[in-house]
């Protein structure tokens, strides 16, 4: 479908013998929108769009996806160029402030983030309450929400300065909490951040260093991890970002809103797909079993889906998946992994699926989660950490969208309506009269 820029100023809705003009607003790129904000007041009717397949929930200037062309822009810059030329903190600055930083602005931003990477020492006691086999995503939902307890008294969201500090704190502390969740799950001591390391090298060291020996971060793996963070940073109004916006619309503090976003991201249809995709590739096990799973994915009576395939918006190849596939090969080469059976299965599964009529007709292509699992597993992360890494990277997108919503003068508390098809009014029946 072509992105519609109709040029029309209004749409006409006719119901019976009545008509109403609904304003049309054009975007800079992408589909126009029909403004239905006054529809209920004018017509007494609601619109109906479960899953919001045709509904714009807000106006935003941050990220744009052209699903038909497989294009992803952060503040107008193509994801391929940002991943190739910059680092994750540059992307964070761009998403938060709308422009690429000058050298001085970048240095100042890096300095500020670096000096907020430590968490309150009491957080280490908070972790002791979890079982060692707790899923790291459960720990992340809890510990990020718990940051409200440490900073709630200084998070006046009506104060731009405090919103900025909360944003920097969130971006800075997510790697530390993510590394703590990993260390806790493998019974190793927490590793503190080091201010002389860049953001992503600091994270890898907090994950993989041990007190008994020095740990040298591989520049190739750090660059690959940094690129993976850039690919996952933001993605318009996806389920978890919409969750953060809705939570934030009530005035909840940013830490509680990000915790809500982490909870939503955990689902296998969303950010949990990278963990599910790797489990699927392991279950398939060998290229000979691929046809069996392709048939299951096409069987309406079988709930099985090809994890890492399909997307609500992309009806072409997810541009992030292409970069992810290249990064996967770079990481495997750096680690000297010549032939990874899971990669063999993934490449053959993609080849077969992309030539199968079912997937072609439904425009199902690999998405970002298809190759990320193989890469992260090769880097040494357990599958339970995959969605934690997604949440770490997406935090800047959540915070940027939350900030845009708070600063939007037209924003109000989100409160959707419904199509009610339940019981009509009836009187209470005494217990003695119930059958
Ligand atoms: C992410 O929104 C975002 O931007 C998300 C994300 C981000 O960066 O925030 O990009 C990250 O969540 C990527 C998606 C990760 N999820 C998966 O890989 C899980 C597998 N994919 C599907 O569950 C599904 O494709 C979704 C959830 C991603 C999209 O679901 P939609 O848009 O609601 O599409 P749908 O379920 O209505 O599917 C349309 C048709 C259906 O068949 P029909 O009912 O029309 O006959 O395609 C079929 C589906 O059965 N289909 C699949 C399929 N995905 C869709 N069939 C087999 N395997 C699949 N993966």
Residue 339 inside a domain? The answer is yes
10: which strand partners?
A: 23
71-74 sheet: strands from edge to edge: 63-66, 71-74, 77-78
- Quote the ligand 1 centre to 306 CA distance (angstroms): 9
- Hey, whose CA ends up nearest to atom 4 of ligand 1? 238
* pLDDT score, position 7: 73
User: Which CATH number is 44's domain given?
Assistant: 2.20.28.60
pLDDT reported for residue 5: 63
Q: Tell me, yes or no, whether 382 and 269 share the same domain.
A: yes
CA of 271 to the centre of ligand 1 (A): 12
**Mean pLDDT over residues 359-368, rounded?**
91
Does 433 map to a domain? no
- pLDDT score, position 153: 65
* pLDDT interval class at 3 (50, 70, 90): very low
Same domain flag for 206 and 340: yes
Q: Which residue has a Cα nearest atom 28 of ligand 1?
A: 311
Residues 236 and 313 in one domain: yes
CB-based contact 271:390 (threshold 8 Å): yes
* 235 within 8 A of 72, measured Cβ to Cβ: yes
146 falls within a domain: yes
pLDDT band at 136 (very low <50, low <70, confident <90, very high): very high
Same domain, 95 and 149: yes
432 in any annotated domain: no
CB-neighbour burial class of residue 106 (10 A; exposed 0-12, middle 13-18, buried 19+): middle
Asked if 96 and 208 sit in the same domain, the reply is yes
Q: Which is the closest atom of ligand 1 to the Cα of 236?
A: 4
Whole-number Å distance, alpha carbon 311 to ligand 1 midpoint, is 5
Verify that 315 and 369 share a domain, yes or no: yes
302 as an active site residue: the answer is no
Q: Which atom of ligand 1 is nearest to the CA of 311?
A: 28
Q: What is the pLDDT of residues 208-222, one digit of tens each?
A: 999 999 999 999 999
- In this prediction, residues 300-305 reach a mean pLDDT of 93
Q: Identify which of 268, 310, 386 to mutate to test ligand 1's pocket (most ligand atoms within 8 A of the CB).
A: 310
Give the residue with greater pLDDT, 340 vs 229.
Answer: 229
Question: Is 90 found in the same domain as 52?
Answer: no
Distance 314 CA to ligand 1 centre (A): 10
For residue 307, being part of any structural domain is answered with yes
Task: Tell me how many domains the chain contains.
Answer: 2
Quote the ligand 1 centre to 313 CA distance (angstroms): 9
Q: Is 237 in the same domain as 184? A: yes
Structure tokens at 122: 């009491």
Range of 33's domain?
10-56
* Residues 244, 101 share a domain: yes
Which residue lies with its CA nearest to atom 21 of ligand 1?
310
Query: Which residue in this structure is represented by tokens 């703590």?
Result: 180
Residue 367 CA to ligand 1 center (angstroms) comes to 9
Which two structure tokens, joined as six digits, stand for 210? 């041990």
Q: How far is the CA of 366 from the centre of ligand 1 (A)?
A: 10
Is 403 inside any structural domain? yes
Which pLDDT value is given to residue 2?
44
Residue-wise pLDDT for 309-330, tens only, equals 999 999 988 999 999 999 999 9
Q: What is the per-residue pLDDT for 6?
A: 66
Q: Angle between the 219-231 and 369-378 helix axes, to the nearest 10 degrees?
A: 160
Whether residue 428 lies inside any domain: the answer is no
- Give the tens place of pLDDT for each residue, 147-175: 999 887 667 888 999 899 999 999 999 99
**Atom in ligand 1 nearest the alpha carbon of residue 310:** 25
Does one domain contain both 51 and 107?
no
Cα gap 284→293, rounded to integer Å: 7
Q: Which of 272, 293, 311, 358 should be mutated for ligand 1, with most atoms under 8 A from CB?
A: 311
Taking only the tens place, the pLDDT of each residue in 21-38 is 999 999 999 999 999 999
In this structure, the answer to whether residues 292 and 372 fall within a common structural domain is yes
Long-range contacts of 32-39 (CB under 8 A, 24+ apart): 32/4, 32/5, 32/6, 32/8, 39/13
Q: Is the same domain home to 240 and 367?
A: yes
Pocket of ligand 1, beta carbon within 6 A: 235, 238, 269-271, 273, 297, 305-313, 362, 364, 367-369
Contact 10, 23 (CB under 8 A): yes
**DSSP codes joined into one string, 182-230:** HHHHTTPPP----TTS-HHHHHHHHHH-BTTB-----HHHHHHHHHHHH
Measured between alpha carbons, how far is 237 from 243 in angstroms, rounded to an integer?
Answer: 9
Q: Which residues pair with 24 in a beta bridge?
A: 34
324, 371 in Cβ contact below 8 A?
yes
- pLDDT computed for residue 155 by the predictor: 79
Q: Catalytic pick from 232, 311, 318, 340?
A: 311
d(CA 5, CA 8): 8
Residue 325's alpha-carbon distances to 155, 207, 279, 300, 349, in angstroms, are 40, 24, 18, 29, 14
Q: Are 199 and 88 in contact (CB under 8 A)?
A: yes
- pLDDT tens, residue by residue, 86-130: 999 999 999 999 999 999 999 999 999 999 999 999 999 999 999
Evaluate whether 172 touches 92 at the Cβ level (below 8 Å): no
Q: Write down the residue that tokens 């845009």 correspond to.
A: 404
Does the annotation count 311 as an active-site position?
A: yes
CA of 240, closest atom in ligand 1: 9
In a domain, 70, yes or no: no
pTM as predicted = 0.94
CATH code (residue 335): 1.10.580.10
Q: How far apart are alpha carbons 305 and 201 in whole angstroms? A: 35
Q: What is the pLDDT of residue 339?
A: 82
User: Is the pLDDT reported for residue 417 higher than 60?
Assistant: yes
Task: Tell me what the pLDDT averaged over the chain comes to.
Answer: 94
For the CA of 238, the nearest atom of ligand 1: 2
Helices H / strands E in the chain, number of each: 18, 6
Segment 274-290, tens digit of pLDDT:
999 999 999 999 999 99
């Amino acid at each position: 479908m072509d992105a519609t820029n109709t040029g029309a100023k209004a749409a006409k809705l006719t119901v019976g013998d009545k008509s109403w003009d609904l304003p049309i607003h054009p975007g800079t790129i992408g589909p126009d929108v029909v403004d239905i904000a006054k529809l209920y007041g004018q017509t007494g009717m609601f619109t109906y769009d479960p899953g919001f397949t045709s509904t714009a929930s807000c106006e935003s200037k941050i990220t744009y996806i052209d699903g038909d062309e497989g294009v992803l822009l952060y503040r107008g810059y193509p994801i391929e160029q940002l991943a190739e030329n910059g680092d994750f903190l540059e992307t964070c600055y761009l998403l938060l402030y709308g422009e690429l930083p000058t050298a001085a602005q970048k240095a100042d931003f890096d300095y500020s983030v670096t000096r907020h990477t430590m968490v309150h020492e009491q957080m280490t006691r908070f972790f002791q309450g979890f079982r060692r086999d707790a899923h790291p995503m459960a720990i992340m939902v809890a510990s990020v929400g718990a940051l409200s307890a440490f900073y709630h008294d200084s998070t006046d969201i009506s104060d731009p300065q405090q919103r900025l500090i909360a944003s920097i704190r969130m971006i800075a502390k997510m790697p530390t909490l993510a590394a703590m969740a990993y260390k806790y799950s493998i019974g190793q001591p927490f590793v503190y951040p080091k201010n002389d390391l860049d953001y992503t090298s600091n994270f890898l060291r907090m994950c993989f260093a041990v007190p008994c020996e020095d740990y040298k971060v591989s520049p190739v793996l750090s660059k690959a991890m940094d690129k993976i963070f850039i690919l996952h940073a933001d993605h318009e109004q996806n389920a978890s970002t919409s969750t953060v916006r809705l939570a934030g619309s009530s005035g909840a503090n940013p830490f509680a809103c990000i915790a809500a976003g982490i909870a939503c991201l955990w689902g296998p249809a969303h950010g949990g797909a990278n963990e599910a995709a790797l489990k699927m590739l392991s279950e398939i096990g060998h290229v000979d079993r691929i046809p069996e799973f392709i048939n299951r994915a096409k069987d309406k009576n079988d709930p099985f889906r090809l994890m890492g395939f399909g997307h609500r918006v992309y009806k072409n190849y997810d541009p992030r998946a292409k970069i992810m596939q290249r990064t996967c090969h770079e990481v495997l080469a750096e680690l000297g992994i010549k032939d990874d059976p899971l990669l063999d299965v993934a490449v053959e599964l993609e080849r077969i699926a992309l030539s199968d009529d079912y997937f072609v007709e439904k425009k199902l292509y690999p998405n970002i989660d298809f190759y990320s699992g193989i890469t992260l597993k090769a880097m040494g992360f357990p599958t339970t950490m995959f969605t934690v890494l997604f949440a770490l990277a997406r935090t800047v997108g959540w915070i940027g969208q939350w900030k845009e919503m708070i600063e939007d003068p037209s924003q109000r508390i989100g409160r959707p309506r419904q199509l009610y098809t339940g019981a009509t009014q009836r009187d209470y029946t005494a217990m003695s009269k119930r059958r």
